[in-house]
């Protein structure tokens, strides 16, 4: 059996549907997970979908992806703007990494316009709400097909 695609989510994404719905929408994280699982299945993949509010746990999962995943979709949330440790973990991966954001960070506050994750990512999908995740899965799938 092939390795799954890891879909990892950073802090506050457990509050999707409640936190700032005018920015992030009304879909819950469970809705996003269900959509990702169904889409990945159509692409011929399984996913491992996780969320944490703890930077160290997110880094541990990224390190786990080194050996246990074929690709990574990562919504780092606020850690994308602050975590050099997360960047360092991502740099250890030799699998496709697609950074994913529900909103468009470039259209928001200045501090959101820089993300350390982008330095290690194969590409970025942002601004399409929950569809950002399925687009990111498409991107990982395409990158895997090229390798």
The catalytic residue positions are 24, 101
The DSSP element (H or E) to which 68 belongs, if any, is helix 55-68
Return the residue matching tokens 């997970």.
Answer: 33
CA-to-CA distance for 67 and 71, rounded, in angstroms?
10
Q: Where are the beta strands (DSSP E) in 38-105?
A: 47-51, 71-75, 97-101
């Amino acid at each position: 059996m092939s390795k799954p695609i890891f879909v990892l989510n950073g802090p506050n994404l457990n509050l999707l549907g409640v936190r700032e719905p005018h920015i992030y929408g009304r879909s819950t994280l469970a809705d996003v997970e269900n959509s990702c699982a169904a889409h990945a299945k159509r692409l011929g993949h399984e996913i491992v979908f996780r969320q944490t509010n703890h930077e160290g746990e997110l880094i541990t999962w990224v390190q786990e992806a080194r050996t246990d995943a074929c690709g990574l979709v990562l919504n780092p949330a606020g850690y994308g703007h602050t975590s050099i440790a997360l960047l360092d973990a991502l740099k250890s991966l030799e699998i496709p990494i697609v950074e994913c954001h529900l909103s468009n960070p470039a259209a928001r506050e200045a501090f959101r316009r820089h993300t350390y994750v982008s330095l290690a990512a194969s590409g970025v999908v942002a601004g399409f709400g929950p569809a950002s995740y399925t687009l990111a899965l498409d991107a990982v799938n395409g990158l895997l097909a090229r390798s």
